[in-house]
Amino acid sequence: MIGHLPSWKNGAAKSAILDFVAAISAPGEDFVPAAERIAVFGNDGTLWCEQPMQAQVFFAQSRAERLADADPSLKERQPFKAFLEHDLPAIHALGKQSVFEFALAIHSGVTVDDFTRIAKRWLDTATHPATHRHYTQMIYQPQLELMRYLRAQGFKTFIVSAGGADFIRAFAQEVYGIPPEQVIGSTVKTRLENGGSRFSLMKLAELDSFDDREAKVQNIGLHIGRRPVFAFGNSDGDLAMMRYTLAGSGKRMAMLLHHDDAAREAAYDREFRLSPLTEALDRADEFGFRMVSMKNDWEAVYAFDK
Amino acid sequence: MIGHLPSWKNGAAKSAILDFVAAISAPGEDFVPAAERIAVFGNDGTLWCEQPMQAQVFFAQSRAERLADADPSLKERQPFKAFLEHDLPAIHALGKQSVFEFALAIHSGVTVDDFTRIAKRWLDTATHPATHRHYTQMIYQPQLELMRYLRAQGFKTFIVSAGGADFIRAFAQEVYGIPPEQVIGSTVKTRLENGGSRFSLMKLAELDSFDDREAKVQNIGLHIGRRPVFAFGNSDGDLAMMRYTLAGSGKRMAMLLHHDDAAREAAYDREFRLSPLTEALDRADEFGFRMVSMKNDWEAVYAFDK
């Protein structure tokens, strides 16, 4: 096993991963056939940085600015006002679901194809306010290694995120090696437009699914049709998915990332209004979650740290 | 190319498939990267027999019989009465959406895991009223070869069906080589049940998506997140998906199976109330569909014919 997971420190968390994969790969009672090796990951805060707010919220902010250029009356209307003034406390105070619903609905009237182009362009140019790095550079290197390792062991890796599916699909293949059809996320309803030869899907303002908490499990049923054997999350939004994963028969694993690394990334849990970690932290032992400490279990956080 | 598609007769349809795949595989302006090689297939009437009614409707009939054993009052209630009396004209008269909604809703109160077990058991035992074969033997051999050929050329094959996703997932891997997450179908809403350690998804009676016509395109957007380059259908329910496929840029193909083979399978199109083929047939040339004649283009229909 030497050489796997180089950005994970040698210790309990890394050993737990290697032991789990060894156990389900070897002939015996813990064996899991390759077709059943389904691994699910949250995205914001599990695979990349979500501080001071999720990249998609910054993306929505840039869209709000464009819309306000065309219609200045938006500047006085909430929640546009909070977004346009970069008023972080006001945005946080809206709470996770309201912020994401706004961030999804703000792209209504754009086709899925055009949205993908717009999102890619934004990701290529926008930078994080603190690190001045592109958001796609703020991917956790240990998680890239973990997903690559799991895939090499026959796993299929899926993202199951409260973030917008179309937004994550714009970079998941290139950055994570995860194809669009393995990205499950929040969605708005669409309308099929048939403008002669166009035939495209138009994004509407109406929410179809806010893929958080119980909905993550329902969407795993809808999209994957099998119970995962491995889950990785970092907030109460991932709690149901992690418990659902562990509740199947046979050997399973659910890991919970704790952001306790103020020096290299951030230290936060229950106070983060845009995705709090409270119950999953308090009851981690009871539920059988394996805690992962960013500070103690990861050798490096980002590739650019190395 | 000799050796591919042995159950397809040498002729225009087979050549069109081989030419299409050769064109998108070769370097040049028609080249499609492997990651974009998405192929979508209807299920009932495209991959297996749907006469005199879809297998799932027979499955619903067997469920109706069990429910009526427990509650005899159902015998006098429609549409139970039609199903219990095997009243084919009455079932057909209900129309496609009503019949499928009933066939989906009748399994409410069953967890997804239990449903899969029940469906597998039914598929292992039930037989077709005319051929006395298991339904999973009534798969079109040329289509198995076509899907295998496309996958060998880097395609990812998906099913996009008005049939229930969970029903098709119960046999798609074994019979078609298509994993559950590549099966898109009609769905009911689910509720996450947490009975202590159980944590399972309970099927509800309420429809979530009837995956037919425009909804097929919307669900391709939801599940696949990319426009297919190849589509195969057999009814007006596939029309939108086939046109959406052809409307993308670059080389694309959409094939329409015509059931014109009374001797080996069945001859039907516009009169089949449970899935009519009318507009797609009348406007096939205008839309650029490639017609496939079961009678003239297929050397064999079923594996047991050979």
Q: How far is B53 from chain A (nearest CA, A)?
A: 25
> What is B227-296 written as a DSSP string?
--SEEEE-SGGGHHHHHHHHTSSS--EEEEEEEE-TTTS-EESTT-TTS--SHHHHTHHHHTPEEEEHHH
Q: What is the mean pLDDT of residues B259-276?
A: 96
CB-side exposure of A105: number of CA atoms within 13 Å? Answer: 14
Mean pLDDT over B4-21 rounds to 97
User: Domain ranges in chain B?
Assistant: 12-305
pLDDT in tens, B143-157: 999 999 999 999 999
pTM of the model: 0.97
Q: How confident is the model at residue A2 (pLDDT cuts 50, 70, 90)?
A: low
**pLDDT tens, residue by residue, A35-68:** 999 999 999 999 999 999 999 999 999 999 999 9
Going by C-alpha positions, the residue among B97, B96, B98 that lies closest to residue B80 is B98
Q: What is the pLDDT of residue A194?
A: 86
Contact B183 A214 (CB under 8 A): no
Residue A211 contacts residue A184 (beta carbons within 8 Å): yes
Q: What is the pLDDT of residue B305?
A: 83
The residue behind tokens 């992690």 is A242
What's the CA gap between B185 and B182, in Å, rounded? 10
Q: CB of B166 within 8 Å of any CB in chain A?
A: yes
Query: With bands split at pLDDT 50, 70 and 90, how would you rate the model's confidence at B306?
Result: low
Of A183-187, A258-262, B72-76, B170-174, the one with minimum mean pLDDT is B72-76
Residue B186 burial by CB count (10 A; 0-12/13-18/19+): exposed, middle or buried?
buried
Identify all chain B residues contacting A187, using CB atoms and an 8 Å cutoff: 222
The pLDDT assigned to B1 comes to 46
CB contact under 8 A, A218 and B190: yes
CB contact under 8 A, A198 and B247: yes
Name the DSSP letter for residue B180: G
Helix (H) or strand (E) holding A67: helix A55-70
CATH for B12-305 is: 3.40.50.1000
- pLDDT tens track for A11-25: 999 999 999 999 999
Decide if B201 and A223 are in contact by the 8 Å CB cutoff: no
Question: Which residue is it, tokens 């754009």?
Answer: A110
**Predicted confidence band of residue A3 (pLDDT cuts 50, 70, 90):** confident
pLDDT of B83 strictly over 60: yes
Q: What is the arithmetic mean of pLDDT over A132-151?
A: 98
- The Cβ-side half-sphere exposure at A17, using a 13 Å CA radius, reads 27
Question: Any chain B CB within 8 A of the CB of A244?
Answer: yes
Question: For B20, left (φ over 0), alpha (ψ -120 to 50), or beta?
Answer: alpha
Q: What is the ipTM of this complex?
A: 0.96
Q: Report the residue from A173, A200, A240 with minimal CB separation from B35.
A: A173
Q: What is the mean pLDDT of residues B275-295?
A: 97
Least Cα separation, residue A243 to chain B (angstroms): 7
pLDDT of residue A306: 67
Checking if the pLDDT of A265 tops 50, the result is yes
Predicted local distance difference test score (pLDDT) of residue A1: 46
B 39-98 near A (Cβ less than 8 A): none
pLDDT (mean) for B229-255: 97
pLDDT category at B30 given cuts 50, 70, 90 is very high
Q: Which residues of B touch A208 (CB under 8 A)?
A: 222
pLDDT digits (tens, 9 = 90+) for B184-195: 999 999 999 987
Question: Do A217 and B198 lie within an 8 Å CB cutoff?
Answer: no
Q: Per the omega criterion (within 30 degrees of 0), is the bond before B142 cis?
A: no
Chain B residues near residue A117 by CB distance under 8 angstroms? none
Weakest mean pLDDT among A1-10, A236-245, B59-68: A1-10
